[in-house]
Structure 1
Amino acid sequence: MQRIYEPENLLEAELLFGMLVNEGIDVYLAGRHLLGGVGELPMQGLLGLTVPDEQAERARRLIAEYNVAQPLAGDEPESLPGILIC
């Protein structure tokens, strides 16, 4: 198993977790239950996505592609160009 990504927050972690599962990758979200200890635990490094060694490269590539994705033209409001509002 390899820790391939440290999400900034639980929302990003759950979103990426779901994306990887939908792509057929066996993924584990480490630290999900530690967030209640923030204040006594360090804030950085609690969350991590972990996958089997043989799926690590594909999972990293999928996350990298997700992080550079841009909204399709016309999907964002005119007042906020380049920003996709969900």
Structure 2
Amino acid sequence: MQRIYEPENLLEAELLLGMLASEGVCAYLAGRDLVGGVGELPPLGLLGLTVENDQADYARRLIAEYNAALPLPGDEPDSFPGTLVC
């Protein structure tokens, strides 16, 4: 298993887990149980996505593409340019 990404928060972690699962990558979220200890634990580095060694490169590429995604023209509100409408 390789730790491939440190999400900023639990919401981002869950979104990435779902995205990876939809692409056939079995990922595990390390540190999920530690989130309740924020305030007592350091705020950074608690969460980490891990995958099997043979899927690590593919998962890293998927996450990089996800982070580089831009809204499609017409999918963003006039009052918030650059924001996706979900």
Q: TM-score, normalised by structure 2?
A: 0.96
CA distance in 2, matches of 1:46, 1:79: 35
CA distance in 2, matches of 1:40, 1:26: 31
Q: Write out per-residue CA displacement over residues 14-33 of structure 1, whole angstroms, 9 at most, x where no aligned residue.
A: 00011001111110001111
Q: Write out per-residue CA displacement over residues 33-74 of structure 1, whole angstroms, 9 at most, x where no aligned residue.
A: 111111111110000000000000000000000001001000
Instruction: Give SS of 1:35's match.
Output: helix
Q: List structure 1 runs of 4+ shifted beyond 3 angstroms.
A: none
1:68 aligns with 2:72: no
Q: TM-score, normalised by structure 1?
A: 0.96
Gaps of 5+ in 1: none
**Count of residues paired in the alignment:** 86
Match of 2:51 in 1: 51
Amino acid at match of 1:34: L
Gaps of 5+ in 2: none
Q: For residues 4-83 of structure 1, what are the structure 2 equivalents within 5 Å?
A: 4-83=4-83
Query: Residue 83 of structure 1: CA displacement?
Result: 1.3
Query: Residue 85 of structure 1: CA displacement?
Result: 2.8
Calculate the aligned-residue CA RMSD, in Å.
0.8
Amino acid at match of 1:75: D
CA distance in 2, matches of 1:78, 1:35: 35
Query: Residue 2 of structure 1: CA displacement?
Result: 0.2
